[in-house]
């Protein structure tokens, strides 16, 4: 995994010996707390998760389509 300097400590691994996944800290779009965003290159996914409010959003990095989402406190219309 690659990370932006000083944000998250990770290990390098993967099918080819090196995976280019990126993990960054972002503000949670649901509650504003510190959350993590994972850019999973091999799976073509972007996963944003917040341990404070239990927010989860997984999208396809190629199409932008939502794969899975859970956001307590946000009601669907």
- Is 77 within a domain? no
Specify whether the CB–CB gap between 24 and 8 falls below 8 A: yes
Domain that holds residue 65: 2-70
pLDDT, tens digit, 9 for 90 and up, residues 35-76: 999 999 999 999 999 999 999 999 999 999 999 999 887 666
Identify which of 10, 13, 44 has the alpha carbon closest to the alpha carbon of residue 24. Answer: 10
DSSP, res 27: E
Confidence (pTM): 0.69
**Burial class of 67 by CB neighbour count within 10 A (0 to 12, 13 to 18, 19+):** middle
Domains in the chain: how many in total? 1
H/E element, 46 = strand 45-49
Q: With respect to residue 75, please indicate whether it lies within any of the assigned structural domains.
A: no
Does residue 13 lie within any of the structural domains?
A: yes
């Amino acid at each position: 995994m690659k990370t932006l300097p000083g944000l998250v400590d990770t290990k390098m691994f993967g099918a080819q010996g090196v995976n280019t996944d990126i993990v960054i800290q972002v503000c949670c779009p649901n509650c504003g707390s510190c959350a993590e965003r994972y850019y999973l290159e091999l799976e073509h996914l972007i996963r944003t998760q917040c341990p404070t409010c239990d927010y989860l959003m997984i999208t396809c990095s190629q199409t932008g389509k939502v794969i899975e989402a859970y956001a307590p406190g946000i009601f669907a219309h």
